[in-house]
Structure 1
Amino acid sequence: MSAVPEPYLQEIADGIHAYVQPDGTWCLNNAGVLVGPDAVTLVDTTATERRTRRLREAVASVTHLPIRTVVNTHHHGDHTHGNHLFADRARVIGHDRCPAAVLEQGTLVKSLWPDVEWGDVQVSPPNVTFSDRMTLHLGDLRVELHYAGPAHTDNDVVVWIPERRTLLAGDIVFNGGTPFVLWGSVSGTLAALDRLRALRPTTVLPGHGPVGGPELFDRTARYLRWIQTLARDAAGAGLTPLQAAREAGLGEFADWTDSERVVGNLHRAFAEHAGAGPGAPIDTRTALIEMVEYNGGKPLTCLA
């Protein structure tokens, strides 16, 4: 494993475990483990073959039951690159837009971070999809899948277990890390956060970072509203997203990891300020290059 703390499994409700990968930075995502009476439902996989095998070992440490269902909260590789290790014995569920996005993305992260030990990653998209909602039953326990995008991406899914007041939020929510909406929507994420808040969960598993509660919605929303205001003011002053990011102080968000995402988020916010719809195509390549420039030329750090 990389020079980061070991992943850990944390029971967050009866039969529901969070698999948390510190330190939650690029490609160190969380997964959910839902143990039913006769099978396990896994929410997301991980970025590398080695890390997904570790996830599978962690599941085996708490139950002998087989993994029969995998839910992808969205298409990004840190959440889907392990699908192939389960696809021969489990259905893989995602939003209707997820399979095409997985195939289009391929193994893009390998080119972004060529030094990471990715292993034998095989692109494996969901083979079961839904458009708005889908309900799973783990014995008597109701597990609801809600489409929540466009937010982090255009195919975001959250997993809501009403009887446990527990929400697995995917990358709509980060804890301790900077949110990232370059491929999604600032306004769409704010709307999604309102819908998630209305569920009134007591426990929230973010896509990255430690388990928290509904206070995570408020932190994320404050950041995104700040991004919107910064984009509006900077556009009015004739600044570019990179210039705006360089001139802005990060304030209460300065201690969040991966702060260079401010540039990508501003690219999305500038586009929406100019009238682009949520999730509309924008020049993401330029945004990624400028994130590195904002970082003083230092490549984005991935410890997967």
Structure 2
Amino acid sequence: MLPKTEEIIEGVHAHVQPDGGWCLNNSGILTGSSGTVLIDTAATERRSRMLHENVRALSSGPVEFVVNTHSHGDHTFGNYLFAGEATVIAHEMAAAEMAEHGLALQGLWPAVEWGHIEVSRPRITFSDRMSLEGAGMRIQLLHFGPGHTVGDCVVWLPDQRVLFPGDLVFSGATPFVLMGSVSGTLRRLDQLRRLEPLHIVPGHGPVGGPELLDANADYLRWVRGLARAGVADGLAPLELARSADLGVFARLLDSERLVGNLIRAYAEESGAAPAAPLDVQSAFAEMVSFNGGHPHCAA
């Protein structure tokens, strides 16, 4: 499906890629008289060029900044199309992960037509918070701690009360914390709730409001409870996932992520620190097994 651009309020747009499944992420486009700020890019050359066209359709001014909410390639691989004119910004740990992993995401979906992609790493990083004056707006970049990844950055527009939380928040798709933390993401969702956002552009899926924070927290609390029961019963994460009743969460896209989430939850139940390194390749293989084949990626 083709992406669509939604105006949240004047000067604030969401570039939404239906259906929000694997590698179909959202971006934010902030426009003003001084130029444009872009929040996240896209996974493939084709989709990054569609994003580039939509940005140009909204504003003829220069792209001043590209802010990456985290390191994953679906949010960063398109940086190179904008890096010639824009300054790319990310949390310092996200930048380190981008340097370490490069184009590794492509190896998980070799059948995807990635096109020509170059890794364009951030030129500016920050450790805690950073303020921008771009597109005529006050823009706050906030890092609260490990959540979806170790280097998450949320983009907060305090005057407009619009939040771009990256993959700390999913809409209509299963949350995913294999590379981050179940407990950490729950804490991050509490912190985001205290910002009192009116509009939330999630990392994937339809735009919503504060109810998205509650929906993600409900799922992760269920995962945590399921993991605790599984550990007590001596079940492996994959075995537990196969026997689990998804209930209301069955309607979410990409249900195979439950396996990766349980692997992370089991590690935390065993005392692992949030976002402690795990064998992602092995976990992904178990997700493939649970799914009965490679997860669908329409990028």
Percentage identity across paired residues of the two chains: 55
Residue among 197, 202, 205 paired with 2:201: 205
| 1:255 and 2:251 correspond | yes
Alignment-derived partner of residue 134 in structure 2 = 138
Is the 2:140–2:157 Cα contact (8 Å) retained in structure 1?
yes
Alignment-derived partner of residue 281 in structure 2 = 285
Is the 2:176–2:261 Cα contact (8 Å) retained in structure 1?
yes
Alignment-derived partner of residue 14 in structure 2 = 18
SS in 1 for 2:118: coil
Q: C-alpha displacement at 1:123, in angstroms?
A: 1.1
Residue among 271, 295, 300 paired with 2:295: 300
Q: C-alpha displacement at 1:140, in angstroms?
A: 4.9
Q: Deviations over 1:11-67 (max 9, x none)?
A: 102200000000100000000001122110000000011111110101111211111
Q: Deviations over 1:99-139 (max 9, x none)?
A: 22012111112211111111111111111000011001136
Q: C-alpha displacement at 1:158, in angstroms?
A: 0.5
Alignment-derived partner of residue 50 in structure 1 = 46
SS in 1 for 2:65: strand
Residue among 189, 196, 203 paired with 2:185: 189
Is the 1:84–1:123 Cα contact (8 Å) retained in structure 2?
yes
Q: Give the 5 Å matches for 1:58-97.
A: 58-97=54-93
Q: Deviations over 1:160-190 (max 9, x none)?
A: 0011010011000000000000000000000
| Greater mean deviation of Cα atoms: 135-144 or 268-277 | 135-144
Whole-Å Cα distance in 2 between the matches of residues 44 and 179 of structure 1? Answer: 18
Whole-Å Cα distance in 1 between the matches of residues 2 and 84 of structure 2? Answer: 28
Whole-Å Cα distance in 1 between the matches of residues 291 and 6 of structure 2? Answer: 34
Whole-Å Cα distance in 1 between the matches of residues 150 and 169 of structure 2? Answer: 15
Q: C-alpha displacement at 1:287, in angstroms?
A: 1.1
Q: C-alpha displacement at 1:148, in angstroms?
A: 3.0
SS in 2 for 1:61: helix
SS in 2 for 1:129: strand
Is the 2:175–2:216 Cα contact (8 Å) retained in structure 1?
yes
What's the C-alpha RMSD, in Å, of the aligned pairs? 0.9
Greater than 3 Å deviation, 4+ residue runs: none
Q: Deviations over 1:234-281 (max 9, x none)?
A: 001000000110111101100100000000000000000010010011
Q: Aligned pairs, how many?
A: 299
SS in 2 for 1:164: coil
Whole-Å Cα distance in 2 between the matches of residues 149 and 18 of structure 1? Answer: 25
TM-score, normalized by length of structure 2? 0.98
Is the 1:37–1:138 Cα contact (8 Å) retained in structure 2?
no
| Greater mean deviation of Cα atoms: 141-150 or 205-214 | 141-150
Whole-Å Cα distance in 2 between the matches of residues 166 and 252 of structure 1? Answer: 28
Is the 2:199–2:207 Cα contact (8 Å) retained in structure 1?
yes
TM-score, normalized by length of structure 1? 0.97
Q: C-alpha displacement at 1:149, in angstroms?
A: 3.0
Is the 1:231–1:269 Cα contact (8 Å) retained in structure 2?
yes
Unaligned runs of 5+ in 2: none
Alignment-derived partner of residue 158 in structure 1 = 154
Is the 1:6–1:22 Cα contact (8 Å) retained in structure 2?
yes
Is the 2:36–2:135 Cα contact (8 Å) retained in structure 1?
no
Amino acid at match of 2:19: D
Whole-Å Cα distance in 2 between the matches of residues 51 and 178 of structure 1? Answer: 22
Q: C-alpha displacement at 1:10, in angstroms?
A: 0.6
